[in-house]
């Protein structure tokens, strides 16, 4: 894409109404726009990052048998009355239509998925199965001041699993954990992310959280110094020792909850009287699990981890483009290289704007595309370009004919 | 995908609460589920169709310079007050938060896109530009009884174009028309779809609709017998003659509005005082156009056009799978062919269920995948399979080794 054609622009000033690093950088670099507290628009480059994260999650959810659906946001009050959450869920947005019929604006989809699958599942032979979606969620958050980390409207992947027995659920739970670690590894967060023993909310004693350590975190966790597991502060008074090694030597850290897995047991299948006959003809209530990842929150977390004082440093797997091609008054040569890269399906942002080298480099640092290729008079004379990785200080000169080989090896 | 693994199932009975053919067939075949009037879940196969439609539209929007974004559904009341639509728009859902602050639930995004782009666009050099999104829209429809044709919550592509002059707008408008026809051609509706002169609503005298002729249509149009253009009944009393050939020989038809293009002029840029300095330093209010396509409505329209008394007949471009592989107690051979097709990136639904041939064929007809491959004892003996197209009556026997050649030529 040619940068001159992008309708967004970078901003020099930090937005005054944002305290979080992720929102400050993402707004300044033109990835998101704030509509109001906790509600953001994804701009062209921001949406590219979201789509990359979405595809990584989709691949991993498909690999553990997930079937993708798309459920509505407008949800009947009756379903929420059945589970008791119409009155108990504090952050539920409620809407009325002309005839004063009320609806919930989906903050989660247990109330929809259970009666939905119930229409199709009649026998133990149909179980287990796993259904997921990417959907906008709505939650009336009181404090929404952490940029993409806590939204009132936010994109989420939610998977629901259905099982005949606790044992089968536990088995799938382990598979899902592995898929989650694969996701955090693929987006570059494997070093900072710990599985964390946490409160299960109202329906289960404990749950598993995936917490990414960063000073921006709103949670406090205790990481076992021996194992790669942690305990959330909220249950530290009950759980004194490491659930894995039984040790008691912890490091206190701030962390962001980037994913969670809840054992729902029969909490929702009971509400909708969802059971099937087992092999002996006996009625069995199904056991459920719920597995969430917030896409915007994950994007914000990546920015909290990967940035310096000049801007964002995207991991290649989620970067909006692989290459930032910068022409320093060498548009003819740059255009040739640009077309060559496009022809080879390399995602490239081409800075064809009329600006000084300093302005272009500052923007490139702020935007944070992994590889920068600079076309200047000095190197073009030698049929070469200057290549610099965003994450590294040094640049190198390579011949134009070797660009693709370089990018292929990268 | 193995059909035994799909959590959805086909239904023999027509849903009693649906009058429209599209909803009846899509529900029976397991593509959608009705949550309430005008609100549907897209099930795994239904979502595959939606994604194919989405990708076709995305490619065509990108080809006319569209930049994709994703704007919020929760929208500040102030923006809607500015355009006057907080009070005038009859089908607007309104939501309150805990502090009684009010929001609109986006039925369209003019109130968001204008102040958004205004933050970036300062000069005539930044214009024109074109921004689009795929987003859920919410409209408090009184009558929502046409299945996917009219929803209270529905997926829509909306593009907004911004111009310095009416002339530039008109030029882009023609390009967008062509892109729209390309979309309707690619989804198989080129024969039935007419550009239709229609009312412009409150802010412009006329607009262009794309109307697909089918008895299921809620609109009445008059198609000029000479040209491929039509006039919507709503303006027929004002517009007597064909806008293209000036003729007056029309055929009355029922039709579905599958897309529309509105010239918005300065209706919304004025509300937000959005202007730029032109080359002479003079302030110019920007001219806007708005271009919509409902994805669910398009999917429903395709079903209204392409079906018979046995079920849906998907055009290949939007079919959930290319091939429906049916094993008649020849699972070993079928599995081999299934894996071979997957290896060649052919999208295939493999009916590996324990059912009679009759049940499998009835389901295949209902689901409507373009090509059916039947693996039975009779043909396997001859190292062959039976191939039948959903749209044709006759089947043919071809050798297993020639399957891919056949599919490639199809």
Query: Using one digit for the tens of pLDDT, what is the confidence trace for B226-282?
Result: 998 999 999 999 999 998 899 999 999 999 999 999 999 999 999 999 999 989 999
- Provide the CB-side half-sphere exposure for B240 (13 A, CA): 0
**Strand pairing partners for B156?**
B135, B294
For the cut 90, the answer to whether the pLDDT of residue B204 exceeds it is no
Rounded-to-integer distance, Cα A32 and Cα B120, Å: 12
Among B35, B95, B120, select the one facing A9 at the smallest CB separation. B120
- Encoding tokens for residue A247? 């040790």
SS3 string of chain A?
CEHHHCCCCCCCCCCCCCCCHHHHHHHHCCCEEEEECCEEEECHHHHHHHHHHHHHHHHHHHHCCCEECECCCEEEHHHHHHHCHHHHCCCCEEEECCCCCEEEECCCCHHHHHHHHHCCCCEHHHCCEEEEEEEEEECCCCCCCCHHHCCCEEEEEEEEEEECCHHHHHHHHHHHHHHHHHHHHHCCCCCCEEEEEEECCCCCCEEEEEEEECCCCCEEEEEECCCCEEEEHHHCCCCCCCCCCCCCCEEEEEEEEEEEEEEEECHHHHHCCCEEECCCCCEEECEEEEEEEEHHHHHHHHHHHCEECCEECCCHHHCCCCEEEEECCCHHHHHHHHHHHHHCCCCEEEECCCCCHHHHHHHHHHHCCCEEEEECHHHHCCCEEEEEECCCCCEEEEEHHHHHHHHHHC
Q: Is the alpha carbon torsion for A62, A67, A72, A75 positive or negative?
A: negative
CB contact under 8 A, B93 and A95: yes
B366: Cα separation from own chain's centroid: 21
Residue B182 scores a pLDDT above 60: yes
Which residues of chain A are within 8 Å of residue B111 when distances are taken between CB atoms?
none
At A364, phi and psi to the nearest 5? -65, -40
Q: Considering only CB atoms, which chain B residues are within 8 Å of A43?
A: 69
Q: Which residues numbered 219-258 in A keep a CB inside 8 Å of some CB on B?
A: none
Task: Chain B: give the shortest CA distance to residue A385, in Å.
Answer: 29
From chain A residues 110-149, the ones with a CB under 8 A of any chain B CB are 112, 116-117, 119-121, 126, 129, 131, 136, 138, 140, 142
Kindly tell me if the per-residue pLDDT of A201 is higher than 80: no
Contact A95 B98 (CB under 8 A): no
Is B116's CB within 8 Å of A50's CB? Answer: no
CB contact under 8 A, B6 and A67: yes
Instruction: Check residue B201 and give its pLDDT.
Output: 64
Mean pLDDT of A263-277: 95
Residues B335-377: tens digit of each pLDDT = 999 999 999 999 999 999 999 999 999 999 999 999 999 999 9
Mutual angle of helices B21-28 and B295-305, in 10-degree steps: 90
How confident is the model over B45-77, as pLDDT tens digits?
999 999 999 999 999 999 999 999 999 999 999
Can you give the pLDDT at residue B408?
Answer: 83
pLDDT on residue B145:
82
pLDDT band at residue B144 under the 50/70/90 scheme: confident
Is residue B86 within 8 A of residue B202, CB to CB? The reply is: no
Greater confidence (A238 vs B308) lies with B308
Of the partner residues B43, B68, B97, the one whose CB lies closest to the CB of residue A47: B68
Which residues make beta-bridge pairs with B93?
Answer: B105
pLDDT at A49 > cutoff 80: yes
The values of phi and psi at residue A274, to 5°, are -100, 105
List CB contacts (< 8 A) between B75 and chain A. Answer: 35
CB-based contact, A17 to chain B, within 8 Å: no
Mutation for A interface: B74, B159, B342, most A CBs within 10 A:
B74
As a whole number of Å, the end-to-end CA separation of chain A is 21
pLDDT of residue A204: 65
3-state secondary structure of B156: strand
Burial of A408 (0-12, 13-18, 19+ CB in 10 A): exposed
pLDDT, position B141: 87
Of A39, A43, A47, the CB nearest to B74: A39
In angstroms, rounded to a whole number, what is the distance separating the alpha carbons of residues B199 and B212?
A: 17
Return the closest-CA partner of residue B127 out of B270, B289, B259, B271: B289
Q: Does the pLDDT at position A199 exceed 90? A: no
Q: Residue B9: pLDDT band by 50, 70, 90 thresholds?
A: very high
CA dist B367 → A175, B324, B339 (Å): 32, 9, 22
pLDDT in the model for residue B180: 98
Average pLDDT on A50-71 reads 98
Q: How far from A302 is each of A10, A185, A306, A368, A399, CA to CA, in Å?
A: 19, 12, 6, 12, 33
Partner-chain contact A70 B47, CB within 8 Å: yes
Q: Please report the pLDDT score of residue B340 as a whole number.
A: 95
Look at B16 and A189; give whichever has higher pLDDT.
Answer: A189
What is the percent of chain A with per-residue pLDDT over 70, rounded to a whole number?
A: 98
> Which residues of chain A have a CB within 8 Å of the CB of B126?
7
The pLDDT > 70 percentage for chain B reads 98
Q: Which residues of B324-355 are buried (b: 16+ CB within 10 A; e: fewer)?
A: bbbbbebeebbbebbeebeeeebebbbbbbeb
CB contact under 8 A, B7 and A76: no
Using only C-alpha atoms, chain A has a radius of gyration, in whole angstroms, of 24
Q: ∠ CA(B144), CA(A85), CA(A176), 5° rounding? A: 95
Could you count the other beta carbons within 10 Å of the beta carbon of residue A8?
A: 24
ipTM (interface pTM): 0.96
Asked if the model's pLDDT at residue B202 lies above 70, the reply is no
- For A255, phi and psi rounded to 5 degrees? -150, 155
> Considering CB atoms only, which of A8, A50, A120 is closest to B120?
A8
Q: In the predicted model, what is the mean pLDDT of chain A? A: 95
Quote the mean pLDDT of chain B.
95
pLDDT of residue A189 exceeding 90 = yes
B-proximal residues of A, 33-92, CB under 8 Å: 33, 35-36, 39-44, 47, 50, 65, 67-76
Contact pairs from chain A to chain B, CB under 8 Å: 122
Residues 6+ apart with CB under 8 A from A237: none
- Give yes or no for residue B203 having a pLDDT over 70: no
Query: What is the spatial distance between Cα B205 and Cα B190, in angstroms, rounded to a whole number?
Result: 27
3-state secondary structure of B6: coil
CA distance B9 to chain A (A): 6
Q: Once rounded to an integer, what is the mean pLDDT over residues A171-194?
A: 97
Query: What is the rounded average pLDDT of the residues A13-21?
Result: 91
What pLDDT score does B410 carry?
59
Q: Which residues, 6 or more positions from A371, have their beta carbon under 8 angstroms from its beta carbon?
A: A322, A323, A324, A387, A388, A389, A390, A407, A410
Q: Is the pLDDT of residue A155 over 70?
A: yes
Query: Per the CB < 8 Å rule, is A8 touching B47?
Result: no
């Amino acid at each position: 894409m040619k940068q001159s054609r992008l309708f967004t622009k970078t901003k020099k000033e930090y937005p005054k109404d944002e305290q979080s690093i992720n929102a400050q950088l993402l707004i300044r670099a033109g990835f998101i726009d704030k509509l109001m507290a906790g509600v953001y628009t994804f701009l062209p480059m921001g949406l590219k990052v979201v789509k990359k994260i979405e595809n990584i999650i989709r691949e991993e959810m498909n690999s553990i048998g997930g079937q993708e659906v798309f459920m509505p946001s407008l949800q009947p009050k009756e379903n929420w009355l059945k589970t008791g959450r119409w009155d108990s869920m504090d952050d539920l947005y409620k809407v009325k239509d002309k005839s004063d019929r009320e609806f919930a604006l989906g903050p989660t989809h247990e109330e929809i998925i259970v009666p939905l699958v119930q229409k199709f599942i009649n026998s133990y032979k149909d179980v287990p199965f796993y259904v997921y979606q990417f959907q906008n969620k709505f939650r009336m958050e009181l404090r929404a001041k952490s940029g993409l980390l806590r939204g009132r409207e936010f994109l989420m992947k939610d998977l629901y699993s259905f099982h005949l027995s606790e044992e089968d659920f536990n088995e799938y739970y382990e598979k899902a954990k592995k898929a989650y670690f694969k996701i955090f590894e693929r987006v570059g967060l494997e070093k900072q992310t710990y599985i964390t023993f946490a409160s299960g909310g109202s329906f289960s004693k404990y749950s598993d959280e995936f917490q990414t350590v960063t000073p921006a975190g709103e949670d406090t966790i205790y990481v076992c110094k021996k194992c790669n597991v942690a305990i959330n502060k909220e249950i530290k008074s009950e759980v004194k020792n490491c659930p894995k090694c039984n040790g008691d030597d912890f490091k206190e850290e701030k962390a962001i909850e980037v994913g969670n897995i809840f054992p729902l047991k029969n909490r929702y299948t009971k509400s909708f009287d969802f059971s099937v006959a087992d092999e002996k003809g006996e009625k069995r209530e199904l056991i459920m699990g719920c597995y969430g990842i917030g896409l915007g929150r994950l994007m914000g977390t990546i920015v909290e981890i990967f940035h310096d004082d000049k801007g964002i440093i995207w991991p290649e797997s989620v970067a909006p483009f692989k290459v930032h091609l910068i022409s320093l008054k060498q548009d003819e040569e740059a255009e040739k290289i640009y077309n060559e890269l496009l022809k080879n399906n390399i995602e490239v942002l081409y800075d064809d704007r009329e600006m000084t080298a300093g302005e272009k480099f500052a923007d490139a640092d702020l935007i944070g595309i992994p590889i920068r290729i600079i076309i200047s008079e000095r190197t073009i004379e030698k049929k070469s370009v200057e290549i610099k990785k965003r994450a590294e200080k040094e640049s190198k000169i390579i011949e134009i004919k070797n660009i693709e080989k370089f990018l292929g090896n990268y």
